[in-house]
Structure formats: structure tokens, C-alpha cells
Amino acid sequence: MITKLSNLFVRTLREDPADAEVPSHRWLVRAGYIRRAAPGIYSWLPLGLKVLEKVETIIREEMAAIGAQEVRFPALLPREPYEATGRWTDYGDNIFRIVDRKGADMLLGPTHEEMFTLMVKDLYKSYKDLPLSLYQIQTKYRDEARPRAGLLRGREFIMKDSYSFDVDDAGLEASYDRHRAAYQRIFERLGLDFVIVSAMAGAMGGSRSEEFLAVLENGEDTFVRSPGGYTANVEAVKVAPPAELPIGDAPAMQAFETPQAGSIAAVVEILNRDLPGREWTGADTLKNVLFMVTEPDGKKRPLAVGLPGDREVDAKRLEAAMEPAVAEPFGEDDFKKYPELVVGFMSPVSLDGTRILGKESSTKIEYLVDPRVVTGTHWVTGANVKDQHLTGVTAGRDFTADGVLDVADVRQGDPAPDGSGPLALARGIEMGHIFQLGRKYAEALGLKVLDENGKLVTVTMGSYGVGVSRAVAAVAESTADDKGLNWPLSLAPYHVHVIATGKEVEVFVKAEQIADELSARGLDILFDDRKASPGVKFADSEVMGMPIIVVVGRGLADGVVELRSRATGDKREVPVDEIVSEVIAVAAAGGLQAG
């Protein structure tokens, strides 16, 4: 197939779009692949659509290979099923809600667990119908708080979502593993450097869950890995608690003066000055941070988090742990409601043993602690009196937390929870997410089948998503350079960009002939037949990013044309009657078998 650039609906831009923060966004817009319609909402132009279709084809092939069948649900959905599972409320401001002319609530689907569950319930009644895997490639809508980076985080985006239905846990495990393997093949074929990490299930519910992250500096996700092979999204890291210590060995509580010590560092300095004999650090202190938690139904409750003073509460870990509720730091007005709390010197307990934090305490504020705060550990913390701190405040003796909340920041060099060595941190973009949902949705919506013994059993489900439009951007992000896009052969809108330069008619005739011959051999050709300067044509070819570039120009008089690689920038002259076989050889080396 040949497309003449003079006919193609495209305009390349010389300037970056004002809101472009990352290379994929900048170049997809500048090269004329996508155009912004509204914040987080994009239109696809011919070049972009071709890449999108190639990504979809890879996904369809791998879904077919595991026996998943393609369907398509509407994007405009009724409220009731989402009400039944609680997600109408849990999704909060993240769903686009619509009221139809009769006043009925509807939504634009953010994900389709409910609809698939109901469809299978409608049609299937027996264990003999299972296992079943269904998928769709479809437009999803989420009113993201922070749409950014073009296609990477849109408010309208394309997702491949599949759902598996099994009669028992072993079946679910097998369906999950099949999807996991298919996802590995998909991301390998997309040419992405990716890791599979343990993930949080979030609003989705369910148990086992993993994410496929493309390793990219501009990613929004932080993940950890250890030399021994532990990997996790930072949100999902579960800190291994240390061994408990005998309470009898703990020192008694003691107050000491800390005038104007408004920070952990200041407290540590005073400790080392006034209580010498050992080296005190921030890790010896217990910091208490207050949050106001808002439940999806709008109810509010206070929460205190106790963690080692050398750590901060990590906003993303907190967000993931609290979801679908939202925790925000206590404001001045919140503190006014608890006059007994002495800001800067907060403590779960006072010197006389009165509990200050915890459901059973005078404030009744729920108190959750970091996993490192185990029974028998003793801490320096506030005295709940201005300018005073306490030493020897011992967990399990002086205070008891209401539970554990694992939301402290995870650092480079922290031990992996499974003992497999120090953690290294890196950034990535979530490309895919697989979940074992279990029976949550089937239970809420009544999806049951008859088992072998004629007994009704609730079906167990998995849910598996790939960001299809995000994948286009992630590949662009990982391959673009300072000149523009740079596609692998498997995803490029065209395999070869043939450029005719100069004014001579013979050059244009020869260039078109080469394009024709390559096309006849099964390659897709973009032919720059425009009356433009060579500089403009070369720049456009670099911005647009086709992997193989053939330049027909002045050298033709000497019987040569130029063959360029977009990826390496290498150029070499090739005799004109060898160019077709040469291009075919380059394509074959890149994994593309031409006819």
C-alpha cells in the first residue's frame, strides 16, 4: 500500500504544544498523530489510527491464542448494576454521570465487571459452560483528577478488558495464569521493557493482583525490585515487621524538656546533647500524623498514623491503602475540635498513662501504626505537653494501636520484605493490570451455576486490563528521540518513507517506481511526493518516525539512492537497482517478512 504525503491528512508542527510535559505527548501531536479535543480527550488522525490498529491486532491475536472471545459492550451504561456492587458510590468523582431525559441515572463505563457478570448470568447456567474468557477493546471514561501527558492519562481512553469465569479456585488460577502469559507476549511484541509487579487491588476488590509496568522515567508509578527477584508497585510493598521484644526489657517512660523543638531533627539534637551514652536518630522517634478520612458516602472520621520519625507518610501509598476513602491532612479547623491534642508534641499516651490516641482513648481517634511499631519496641515521642517529649514509650505497654497501616515511604536500600536483598526504586507506566476478583462481583449480582452435583455455586472471576491508547504513547515514549517519533517496524504506520528530493521529474518518477515495487512486495509505503525543500522533507520524516527511509535525489544521476535508518541515523548509498532487495533485507532483519 502506498500513501502519498501530498494526500495524507496531516500537518506537522514546528512548536511543542503548550501542555506537553513528556516526549510521547509532544511528538504524537507535533507529528500529526493525535489532536487534543479537550483536557484528557484526543482525536486520532490517520497516522495515529494506524499505530493504534496495529497495537489492537497484537492484542487480538494474543487473546485469541488463549481462547478469549471478543465482544463489545456499550460505553453508556445504566446505574443499577454499579449500584449493586457499590461502585456507583466508590468511584466517586471519577465517573462521568449522565441523566437521561426521563431522569434516569446513567454513567460512561470506567470498566465493565458488572456488565460482563450480568451477561454471563443471563446466558449461562451450568458448570459445563465454564471456563469462559471474554474481552472487548473499547472506549473507557474516567474523570481523572489529573489528566496528563496526552494519551498516557486520558479521561477518554481505549482499554482492552477481559473477564474470566470459573467454577472453582483452581480454574481461576489457571485463567489468571493464561492471561498473565498472554500479557507477557503482548508487551514483548510491543517492544516494551516491562516488569511484572505485585499490586494493590484498589477499588476493584479481590485478592491476587499484578501490574505490568513499562520501565520509563516519566512514569507515574514507582516500583521496587531486589537482587533476589522481589518486585512490587511501591503502593503494594508490605514492610516485614521485626520480631516483637519482651516488654520487661523496655525502659520506663520518662519526660524531658524539648523547648521549641518543632521538628524531629531538633528533638534528635536535644536527645544527643541531654541524654548521651548512645547515638539517637530519627528512627528512634515515633511521629504521629493526623488525617481526616472521607468515606465515599461523605462520612468523615479522624485517623492518627504513628510511624518512625525518620519516615514520611507516602501520599500514594496512603491513597492506595485508604481507597475508596480519601485521607487528607488535618486542617486547623480539625485540630480545633480536639483541643487536648498538643500540636508538635503529639503522643498516643501522656506521662501519667492516659491514652490520647486510639478508639478507647479520650479522643477516640483511631490510631494505626507502621508495621515496625511492634510490641516491646520503645520510642521517643511527644509528651502531649508543650515543649516536652517522652522516652521509653513502649508499644503494648504504654499504648496499643487499633491496627497496622503500612504507608510510610519506601526507600532505596530498604530490605525487601521477603529477605531477598536491598530494594532499588525505579519508575514505570502501568500498561496492564490483572486481578483475581474472586466471587465479589458474582455474589453482588447473583451469578451462579449448577455444579457437577446439581448444587448452585457462585462463579469466581478474574479481570484483566490493557491500556491500548496508553500503549501507543508508551511505545512512543520509549523510542522517541530528540528529533521525533521512532517506531519499531511492527507498529510503524508505514514501514518505509520514500522521499523524492529536488525538482527533476526523473527523480519523482524513479521514487514512485521504487515505492510501487516495495508496495508490491507487501510493504506499506509513505511517499513524500510534495514540492517542498529537502530540509522540510527530512525533518518531517524524522518527526513522523517511519523506521526505514529511502531518499531519491541528486545521486540518481550516478545510479545511487540513499538508505537511512530512523533509529540509528545511519545512511548509506545503494545502487538504485538494488534498493528494493536491500530494503526487503533490512525489513527481514527487523522481523518483517516481505513477499
| Cell of residue 99, nine digits | 441523566
157 binds ligand ATP (CB under 6 A): yes
431 interface partner picked from ligand ATP, Mg ion, none, CB below 5 to 8 A per type: ligand ATP
Select 192 or 431, whichever has its Cβ closest to ligand ATP. 431
Give how far Cα 236 sits from Cα of 72, 202, 215, 222, 386, Å.
Answer: 32, 10, 17, 10, 37
Select 112 or 433, whichever has its Cβ closest to Mg ion. 433
Helices 23-30/468-479 angle, 10° precision? 100
Helix (H, G, I), strand (E, B) or coil at 452: coil
176 binds ligand ATP (CB under 6 A): no
Of the candidate spans 347-355, 358-366, 429-437, 537-545, the one that interacts with ligand ATP by CB under 6 A turns out to be: 429-437
**Closest among 30, 33, 25 to 9, alpha carbons compared:** 33
Of positions 115, 373, 431, 525, contacts ligand ATP by CB under 6 A: 431
The three-state (H, E, C) secondary structure of 22-65, written as one string: CHHHHHHHHCCCEEEEECCEEEECHHHHHHHHHHHHHHHHHHHH
Select 225 or 433, whichever has its Cβ closest to Mg ion. 433
Q: Rounded to an integer, what distance in angstroms lies between the CA atom of residue 544 and that of residue 29?
A: 10
Find the shortest distance in angstroms from Cβ 196 to ligand ATP. 12
Select 130 or 431, whichever has its Cβ closest to Mg ion. 431
140 binds Mg ion (CB under 5 A): no
Select 42 or 345, whichever has its Cβ closest to ligand ATP. 42
Select 90 or 430, whichever has its Cβ closest to ligand ATP. 430
Amino acid at 213: L
Of positions 90, 366, 398, 430, contacts ligand ATP by CB under 6 A: 430
Select 77 or 159, whichever has its Cβ closest to ligand ATP. 159
**Closest among 192, 241, 230 to 214, alpha carbons compared:** 192
Q: Characterise 445 by phi-psi region: left (phi > 0), alpha (psi -120 to 50), beta (else).
A: alpha
Contact 466, 135 (CB under 8 A): no
Angle at 49 between CA 45 and CA 53, to 5 degrees: 175
Of positions 433, 439, 470, 537, contacts Mg ion by CB under 5 A: 433
**Closest among 155, 153, 130 to 141, alpha carbons compared:** 155
- The footprint of Mg ion on residues 477-536 (CB under 5 A) is none
| Cell of residue 560, nine digits | 545511487
582 interface partner picked from ligand ATP, Mg ion, none, CB below 5 to 8 A per type: none
- The footprint of ligand ATP on residues 448-487 (CB under 6 A) is 465, 467, 469-470
| Cell of residue 466, nine digits | 490493557
Contact 526, 9 (CB under 8 A): no
Of positions 26, 153, 372, 378, contacts ligand ATP by CB under 6 A: 153
Number of residues that bind ligand ATP (CB under 6 A): 15
Find the shortest distance in angstroms from Cβ 35 to ligand ATP. 17
Q: Which residues bind ligand ATP (CB under 6 A)?
A: 111, 142, 144, 153-154, 157, 159, 430-433, 465, 467, 469-470
Residues that bind Mg ion (CB under 5 A): 433
